[in-house]
Amino acid sequence: MTFVVTTPSFSGPIELLLQLISSHDVDILDVPLAPLVDAFVATLRDDTTELDMEDLSEFLLIGAVLLEMKSHRLLPGPESGEIDEEFIGWEERDVLLARLLELRTYAALADAFVSLFERASRAYSRLRGVDDGFVVQPPDLLAGVTTTQLALAYLRGIEEKPVPVVRLHHVTVDAVTVAETVAALSQRLPTMGRFSFRQLTEPLVTRIEVIVHFLALLELCKLGYVTLGQGATFGEVQIEWLDTNASVDFGGVDRYEG
Amino acid sequence: MRGELSLEQKLEAMLTVALEPISAEELADVVDAEAAVVRQTLADLRAEFLEQRRGFQVVELASGWVMQSSPDVAAWVTKFANRDVSHRLSSAALESLAIIAYRQPVSRAQISALRGVNVDGVVRLLEQRGYIEELGRAPGPGQPILYGTTESFLDRMGLATLNDLPPIEEFMPPIETANELAEEIAERFDDSEVS
Amino acid sequence: MRGELSLEQKLEAMLTVALEPISAEELADVVDAEAAVVRQTLADLRAEFLEQRRGFQVVELASGWVMQSSPDVAAWVTKFANRDVSHRLSSAALESLAIIAYRQPVSRAQISALRGVNVDGVVRLLEQRGYIEELGRAPGPGQPILYGTTESFLDRMGLATLNDLPPIEEFMPPIETANELAEEIAERFDDSEVS
């Protein structure tokens, strides 16, 4: 399903909103974003709607893009860092041209890289090594290697590599619902004191898991079990469990599959 | 037929036997010669094998010198080489890799400012595949990680040093393209001002 | 500058790359030539390398033809092989060794799938250094060699048996334990589908 949003200046699917803003047909300054989020949360809490994680991430993505666009419009002056420093005083279109030319250059270089890679990968090195019959008494290459280092090397060795195929068992592992995560967190958090979102999500592997944790925390915050705070803009999100004796009521937590 | 053994002979034997690239210094150490002499001899050998159009070549990679089959003969060799072909990188990944290679040390924000899209995923992929690594952190707010290419990147490109990368000037778009682009941009700007 | 590839060039490349001796018939099959012609060309190559006093030679062994270091240079090859490498194993080699230790019996293809890179050279090195050995062959297509660790590996790690390896779970974050489990289950499913 797609999210239909209603604002004073626009009513329709959120993707369309983004499209219209991008093409300057709607001014982002005319679009209040808070009601969009409220509507989103309301949809989440509506038991009768079924959501999948893709729609959810889609909304979050579009929301983030809108937020960024709006903040760019609201904040004075460009802040894009060093890249643009050398171009101070240039017309906007000159900067754009310079960037396009540079990009074309790198795209051409990327092609050159491909031929270099291909050529190099067609050269195979020798595997035979020293022939039998040589007295080889090499030093012990394992000297000083502890069993712990070996175990850690194993973990590095099997670390998830980018795999171009979709393996179904990942889905099984990652199929954690927000409701389940709320339940799990309400067990863990009371013993953890004050900690950051980064600490909480450090061991998580996939982006979906992190998103699910984030949503679960928002849930718990809305339900009044935790406080979320941020010291500075872009600072770490700090999480603290509020001392409450009430047990967590899962009734209000939406159940959607990951 | 004994006689003195030549330096070429010793180096050839070692490259025949080695399972990993070896630096000129390490070879020099074993054969008891100056590293500079070893380097020159290896360069001569490389030229000699190339000129004789042998099926093998001596090459300097970032991690050292190796003897390998000549890429021209690849089609005939795969059956015995039985080695996996290098993973393909997407064009987005290749472009980011090119930016990193030529602008290192460079932060994700800088790459993404240039490419106009978020590059977190691509940078992570390049790092996992061993093409790039952290070189350190930039001073200033947020202390962003600075990336550069790895030795393994050069090895896989068949290059010894970053100086062997193709010169960037050769890849800049010709002046006509620049003019065309400039016109396109001007049109687009005018359009948006009208609407 | 390409032009036709010569028979010499193709044969040289194949011998450069091959791990095991290859028969003239097998070589002839790949290059699409008469075995007699191949045999003659190989004999000529052998004579040529001998005459040029190269550090490598092409020889016919009982099981086929190989390219190897020339016997004249044996003393230097021994020195090279025994050179005082202050080295430890490279981290790539150590990772492969660890995978073999924990997953044995395991094939090269399996290790390579886990590590995401080719491991032929590394496995060969570990075998030559006596840390791993062939345990047998897997059933199924190609009958790949299965590797395991040697007694000497246990000795050097100070372990009595493989059971004394530290349990890997102790080093894993919980999520990875779950993934690991899922992978094992998936593998078991794959196996049962194959067999």
Q: How far apart are CA B97 and CA B154, in angstroms?
A: 12
- The answer, for B54 touching chain C at a CB cutoff of 8 Å, is yes
Task: Say how many Å lie between the first and final Cα of chain C, rounded.
Answer: 51
A134-183: per-residue pLDDT in tens?
Answer: 655 556 666 777 778 788 888 877 776 544 433 333 333 344 667 777 88
Confidence band of C173 (pLDDT split at 50, 70, 90): low
Chains that touch B (3 or more CB pairs under 8 A): A, C
Distance to chain A for B43, nearest Cα, Å: 18
Contacts of A125 in chain C (CB under 8 A): 17, 121
Residue entry with tokens 């030319």: A101
Contacts of C8 in chain B (CB under 8 A): 54-55
Which has the closest alpha carbon to A214: A167, A252, A182? A182
- The answer, for C72 touching chain B at a CB cutoff of 8 Å, is yes
B77-95: per-residue pLDDT in tens?
Answer: 877 765 544 457 888 888 9
State the best of C9, C26, C83, C115 to mutate against chain B, taking most chain B CBs within 10 Å: C9
- B91: β partners: none
User: How many other CB atoms are found less than 10 A from the CB of residue B170?
Assistant: 10
User: How many other CB atoms are found less than 10 A from the CB of residue A223?
Assistant: 17
Q: How far apart are CA C95 and CA C97, in angstroms?
A: 5
Q: What 8-state DSSP symbol labels residue C5? A: P
Provide the percentage of residues in chain A whose pLDDT is more than 70.
62
Q: Cis peptide before A139, with omega less than 30 degrees from 0? A: no
Strand, helix or coil for residue C40: helix
Q: How far apart are CA B10 and CA C80, in angstroms?
A: 10
| Cβ pair B95:A101 closer than 8 A | no
User: Which tokens go with C7?
Assistant: 């028979």
The pTM for the full model equals: 0.52
Confidence band of C167 (pLDDT split at 50, 70, 90): confident
Which one of B59, B168, B185 has the shortest CB-CB distance to A96?
B185
For A129, which residue in chain B has the nearest alpha carbon?
B17
Low-confidence ranges of chain B (pLDDT < 70): 1-3, 81-87, 189-195
For C66, which residue in chain B has the nearest alpha carbon?
B16
Distance to chain B for A242, nearest Cα, Å: 30
| Segment among A36-50, A73-87, B101-115 with least mean pLDDT | A73-87
Q: What 8-state DSSP symbol labels residue C166? A: P
Strand, helix or coil for residue A72: helix
User: Which tokens go with A191?
Assistant: 């013993």
C104-138: per-residue pLDDT in tens?
Answer: 999 988 888 888 777 888 898 888 888 999 998 88
